[in-house]
Amino acid sequence: MKKLATGFYAAIVVALMVWGFYQAIYVAPDESTMHEVQRIFYYHVPNAIVCFAFFAVSLLGSIGYLAFRRSNPEWAQRADAWALAGAEVGVVFCTVVLITGPLWGRRAWGIWWTWDARLTTTLVLWLIYASYLLLRRFAAGPQMQTLAAVLGIFGALDVPIVYMSNRWWRTQHPAPVFGGDADSGIKDPAMLAAFGWNVLAWFAWGVLILLLRYQVERKHQKNAALEAREALESHV
Amino acid sequence: MSGPARPAPNAQLEDVSKLFGSFAALRQVSVALEPGKCYVLIGENGAGKSTLLRILAGLLRPSMGQIQVFGEAEPHDARDRIGYMSHAPMLYDELTGVENLSYFARLYPDRECLEPAEALRQVGLDPKLERPLGQYSQGMRQRTSLARVLLAQPDLLLLDEPFSNMDVESAGQMVELLARFRHSSRTIVITTHQRELAAPIADFVLALKAGRVARFEAGNPTL
Amino acid sequence: MPRVLWTHLMKDLRIEWRSKEAINSMLFFALLVVVLFSLAFDPRGPFSQSIAGGVLSVATMFASVSALNQAWAREIRHQVMDAQRMAPTPGAELFLAKVLANFLFVTIVQVILAPVFLVMYNLRVVGQAWLLAVVLPLGTWALVANGTFFAALSIRSRNRELLLPLILFPIFVPALLAMVNATGGILTGESDPGMWIKLLTGYDIIFTTVSLLLFDTVFNAE
C-alpha cells in the first residue's frame, strides 16, 4: 500500500516537473532585458525557497530529538531521521542554488560570483549544513545524534544573523521577487504562472526525495536495532 | 530467609544490557548491591566489568533494562553519593596531589568532605609533596586517585582495577584501607584480575563472562 | 561570582600558568599568521589600513583554535572529564569558567600582538581608538564562547582536533564580519562601527545563552 502510494506520488511529481519545464521554457515570455538567460530564474528561485523549507524540517527534527530522547526513544529516532533527511536534501537543493546562481550572474552581471548578502548567506548556509553532515560522519554511537541535534539548532540560529550581517554589508542581488519594493519582482501573469508551477514542482520533488531519504534512514535505524538484538541473543 | 528484613539495596540492575553498535558488552545483567557489602567483579578482558561500573556510575546509559541507584532511575541524579575510580587517574598532571584534591573537594559543596591532606595520609602519601602529579610514579597516582574517590565519602564506591600497577604489599595496604572504609551504609564494588588480592574484604563474587553473569556467590574469590 | 565557577576558573588559570601551553602556542601561531599575511599581501600605504582589521581577526581566529582544543584535551587526558561529569555541580559552570579563562588568554595574546601589529603594518588609527577596546573584547568573546562550546562538542568525536574549525568557522561568520568591519571602520575612520558593535553584542548574547542552556546536554551526551 505504502509502495503504491509512493509510486503514485512519484508519477504526479514527474508530471509536475514536465509541466513546469514546459511552462518555464516554452510558455513564459521572453524577459526584456535579460532574455533567455532569465529563464534559469524558474529553477534558481524555487530551489532556494524549497531548500529553506527542508532546513526548517531539519531544525524541527533536531529539536524533536532533544525533546524526546529520554522520554520517548522511538519518537526521538524518527525526529533524528527527519533532521538528517532534511539537512541532506536541503544541502542538495542549496547546491543547485549555488550552481544556477553564478550561471545567471555571469550573463546578467558579467561576473560568476560576488560577495553579496544573499550569495554569501546561501554559501554560509551551505557550509553550516555541510559541517552538520560532517559531524554526523565523524562522531559515532548514540552521542552523535545528540551532538548533531545541538549543532543543528546552533546552525539554524545562525542563519538569520548571517543574513542580517550580510545585508548591512553589501547587497547586489536583485530585490526579493515578492515583498520587495514596487519596482521589483515580476508582473507578467504568464511568468508568474511558470514560476508558480516550478515552485510547486520542485517542492513536490523535494518532498519525494525527503520521504525516500527518511525511509532509508529509518531502515538503517531498524537494521541497527535488529543487529543489536541479534548480538544480544547470540552466544559469543 | 529468616531474620531481620534486609535493607533496601543501594543499587539495583534489572535485565540491563549495553550495546556498542552491534557489540553486546552486557547482556541481561540483574544484580542488587546491598549496603554494607563488598562485591568483587571478576572476568576476562572484555567481559563487561568496566561497562558495568560505568553504568552504575551514570557515565553510560543502559541500552535496555532498568537501573536504580539510591532510589533514582538515573544514577546521574545521585552522583554526589557515588565515587568512581577508573584505570586512568582522573586527575590533572599539572597540579600537586593536594591541589587536585582541594579542587575536587570544592565541587562537592553539599557533602561533608575529608580534608585533602587527611585523604592523602589515609592512602599512605605525604601531603607535603610539592611535585605535580605528572611526576608521580604509577602507584602513587593510583593512590591519589583513590584518595579523590574517598574524598566526598561516597556511599557507593566503584573501583575499576584499583590494584593494577601495584606490588603485592601496596595492594595489601589498599585493601586494609578499604576495609577501614567499610560502613554499614556503604557498598563497595571492585573489579580486578588479581582476585586473591581482594579476598580479605570480599563478601560476594560476581563473575562476568561475555557480558553475562556467569557466577554470583558469597565468600572467598580464590575458589 | 559563584564559588564553584571561581574554583573552576582558578584551576584553569593555575594549570595554564604552570604549562603555558595555550598562550605560547597561540602567540606564536598568531605571529606567524600576521607575518605570512604581510608577505602575501605586501601591506604598504593605505591598503594596509583597510586589511589590518581582517588580518588581526583571522589571526586571532586561527590561533585560538589550538588553545580551544587544548582546553578540553586537558580534561580528556586521564579521563578527568568523567570525574567532572560525576561532580554534583552544573557543567555550565565548568563551561563558563573555561570561556572566561580562554577569553583572558586570547586577550593577553592580542595585547602582546597589538604593538607588533601596529609596527609591522605601519598603522595609525584615524577613527576613535577607544572603540577598539569595545570591539576586540566583544569579538573575542564571540569566538571564545562558541569555540569552547564546539570544542567540547567535537572532542567527543573521532577526529577531535580536526572537527573544531570545520564546525566553528561557518557559525562564526557573522561575528567575523562584524569584527572585521568594525575594526576596519575604526582604523580608517571612513565608516561608523556602531551598527557592527550592536550586531556583535547581539551575537554574543544569543550564542552565550544558548551555549549555557545546551552545554549539559553536550557534556553528558553518551
Please, which chains are in contact with C (at least 3 CB pairs closer than 8 A)? A, B
pLDDT for A183 beyond 70: no
Band (C17; pLDDT cuts 50, 70, 90)? very high
Identify the pLDDT of residue B223. Answer: 44
How many structural domains comprise chain B? 1
Whether residue A175 is predicted with pLDDT greater than 60 in this model: the reply is no
B203 touches chain C (CB under 8 A): no
**Residue B52's domain spans which residues?**
11-92+150-218
Q: What is the pLDDT of residue C183?
A: 86
Locate the domains of chain C by residue range. 3-219
Q: Is residue B112 part of a domain?
A: no
pTM value is 0.88
| Residues C162-178: tens digit of each pLDDT | 889 999 999 998 899 88
Write the CATH number for B194. Answer: 3.40.50.300
Put simply, the answer to whether B19 touches A231 (Cβ < 8 Å) is yes
Q: What is the pLDDT of residues A68-112, one digit of tens each?
A: 988 888 999 999 999 999 999 999 999 998 988 888 878 777 777
Closest-CA residue of chain B to C90: B107
In chain C, residues with a C-beta closer than 8 Å to the C-beta of B93 are 77-78
- Taking residue B116's Cβ as centre, other Cβ atoms within 10 Å add up to 22
Asked if the Cβ–Cβ distance from A231 to B210 is below 8 Å, we say no
- Please tell me the distance from the alpha carbon of residue B107 to that of residue B88, in angstroms, as a whole number: 20
A131 in contact with C at a CB cutoff of 8 Å?
A: yes
Is B134 within a domain? no
What DSSP assignment string belongs to A61-120? HHHHHHHHTTT-HHHHHHHHHHHHHHHHHHHHHHHHHHHHHHHHHHHHTSSS----HHHH
- The answer to whether A5 faces chain B, any CB pair under 8 Å, is no
B19 within a domain of the structure (yes/no): yes
Q: Which residues of B touch A236 (CB under 8 A)?
A: 210
Tell me, what's the ipTM? 0.88
Beta pairing partners, B20? B23
Per the CB < 8 A criterion, the answer to whether B91 and C15 are in contact is no
Touching subunits of B (3+ CB pairs, under 8 Å) are: A, C
* DSSP code for B9: P
Shortest alpha-carbon distance between residue A131 and chain C (Å): 5
- Which residues in chain A touch residue B72, judged by CB atoms under 8 angstroms apart? none
Point out the residues of chain B with pLDDT beneath 70.
1-5, 220-223
For residue A166, list chain C residues with Cβ-Cβ distance below 8 A. Answer: 174, 177
Minimal Cβ distance to B24: which of A140, A224, A232 = A232
A69 min Cα distance to partner chain C (Å): 11
CA C145 to chain B, closest CA, distance in angstroms equals 23
Mutate to test the interface with B, among A77, A144, A232, A235 (most CBs of B within 10 A): A232
User: Among A66, A147, A164, whose Cβ lies nearest the Cβ of C153?
Assistant: A147
Q: Which of residues 137-176 of A touch C (CB under 8 A)?
A: 138-144, 146-147, 150-151, 153-155, 157-158, 161-162, 164-166, 168-169
Least confident piece of the model among A7-16, A227-236, B158-167? A227-236
Residue A42: what are its φ and ψ, rounded to 5°?
-70, -15
Q: In the predicted model, is pLDDT for residue A190 greater than 70?
A: yes
**C15 pLDDT higher than 80:** yes
Please indicate if any CB of chain A lies within 8 Å of the CB of C80: no
Q: Chain C: residue nearest A140 by CA?
A: C157
The average confidence (pLDDT) of chain C is: 88
- Helix C46-76 vs helix C21-41: crossing angle, to nearest 10: 150
Whether chain A has a CB inside 8 Å of the CB on C3: the answer is no
C4 has a pLDDT exceeding 80: yes
Is B106 in contact with C74 (Cβ distance < 8 A)? no
Q: What's the grid cell of residue C151?
A: 570544542
Q: Does B199 reach chain A within 8 Å, measured CB to CB?
A: no
Instruction: Report the candidate in B30, B47, B38 with the shortest Cα–Cα distance to residue B159.
Output: B38
For C70-107, letters b (16+ CB in 10 Å) and e give bbbebbeebbbbbbbbbbbbbbbbbbbbbbbbbbbbbb
Q: How far is C3 from chain B (nearest CA, A)?
A: 8
Return the pLDDT at A113.
78
Helices C46-76, C91-120: crossing angle, 10 deg rounding: 150
- Position B4 scores a pLDDT of 59
**Coil/strand/helix, residue B28:** strand
> Does residue C143 register a pLDDT over 90?
yes
How close A111 gets to chain C, by Cα (Å)?
23
Q: Which helix (H) or strand (E) holds B101?
A: helix B97-106
Q: Give me the total of CB pairs closer than 8 Å, taking one residue from chain B and one from chain C.
A: 72
| SS3 labels along chain C | CCHHHHHHHHHHHHHHHHHCHHHHHHHHHHHHHHHHHHHHHCCCCHHHHHHHHHHHHHHHHHHHHHHHHHHHHHHHHHHHHHHHHHCCCCHHHHHHHHHHHHHHHHHHHHHHHHHHHHHHCCCCCCCCHHHHHHHHHHHHHHHHHHHHHHHHHHCCCCCHHHHHHHHHHHHHHHHHHHHHHHHHHHHHCCCCCHHHHHHHHHHHHHHHHHHHHHHHHHHCCC
**Chain B contact for C158, CB < 8 A?**
no
Question: What's the pLDDT tens digit per position in C97-111?
Answer: 999 999 999 999 988
Is B63 near chain A, with CB under 8 Å?
yes
Q: How far is B173 from chain A (nearest CA, A)?
A: 38
pLDDT digits (tens, 9 = 90+) for A38-76: 788 888 888 888 888 999 999 999 999 999 988 888 999
Per-residue pLDDT averaged across A104-131, rounded? 82
pLDDT value of residue A184: 47
Of B111-115, B171-175, C38-42, C128-132, highest mean pLDDT: B111-115
Q: What region does C189 belong to: left with phi over 0, alpha with psi -120 to 50, or beta? A: left
DSSP reduced 3-state for B208: strand
Instruction: For residue B111, tell me if it sits in a domain.
Output: no
Closest-CA residue of B relative to C74 is: B92
